[in-house]
Amino acid sequence: MKSKVDLAEFVTPQLLPHRMYFRTTGCASGVDYFIRLADAFSPKKVLIAIHGIARDPRRHIHLLSRQADQYGYTLIAPFFNVNDYPDFQRLGRLGLGRRADHALLSSVLHIHKYLPFNSKLKLFGFSGGAQFVHRFALAYPHLVETIAIASAGWYTELSSKLRFPFGTAPTKRLADLHFHPTDLCYMDTCMLVGSQDVERDANLRHSKELDRYQGKNRLTRARRWQKRLKKRSQRLGSQAEHACHVLDRVGHSFEEAVRIGHLDNIIFKFFSTRPSQ
């Protein structure tokens, strides 16, 4: 993937509002990313947007930029290229490329050197990016303020009886990670899915067990996972909000979700009404 941004812009710390920049961390552990600043930078208003398997972070920033400007948000969109991060949706398990979770953490540290923002992250992900975001939040709840996830193909269940990525029991393929489903119950979450996102396409994970427990399409799977998350949260006495928005006349398309379903307005309103930490 080639950027059309002038290469001279990569090496300057000066970022102008409303322009998209491609930047590299300069270290092996970090992931390259695109960034777009709001008019006035606010450390409380930084959103990290994670792309799906189409791996088009530029498009995500472009489609989110209008409402980002309206709400005063700076956008950061990592680029998990297919060669280095074939398993980014599941954080990058052993034998399946680089660790996507470690790469994001390294890049956040890099960005903080010249653009300090809140230590707790606001994360949004679409499709495969939604898979990454909710799993990252399960692994690092102490680093995440709130999440919005749209049109995930499937979800990690909040069950220690199932090994990750199907559940939250530890896996040798991510030996250093432990997952914290209870902490997720205390975190505000916003889920979105299209009312027409019911196709069983080639990118949707299928299995008899998964279909039986989560449902046969993304719409059903989103509703069921949100229902179980709410039920567990209520049982714990959590006051966190776990919203689910079904976007009318929207299929499995990020552009449709924004232009028809107004996903951008929904998520920025959601993030802006959460108390920052």
Q: How far is CA 17 from the centre of its chain?
A: 23
**Domains of the chain: total:** 1
Q: Name the pTM for this structure.
A: 0.94
Is residue 12 a part of any domain in this protein?
no
Domain that holds residue 180: 17-272
Is residue 277 a part of any domain in this protein?
no
Is residue 5 a part of any domain in this protein?
no
Is residue 92 a part of any domain in this protein?
yes
Is residue 62 a part of any domain in this protein?
yes
Is residue 9 a part of any domain in this protein?
no
Sign of CA dihedral 98, 47, 3, 28: negative
Sign of CA dihedral 210, 264, 48, 100: positive
What CATH number does residue 76 fall under? 3.40.50.1820
pLDDT digits (tens, 9 = 90+) for 137-184: 999 999 999 999 999 999 999 999 999 999 999 999 999 999 999 999
**E strands present in the chain:** 20-23, 33-36, 46-50, 74-78, 121-126, 144-150, 189-194, 242-247
Is residue 155 a part of any domain in this protein?
yes
pLDDT digits (tens, 9 = 90+) for 223-247: 999 999 999 999 999 999 999 999 9
- What's residue 207's pLDDT? 92
- What's residue 16's pLDDT? 87
Is residue 101 a part of any domain in this protein?
yes
Low-confidence ranges of the chain (pLDDT < 70): 1-14, 276-277
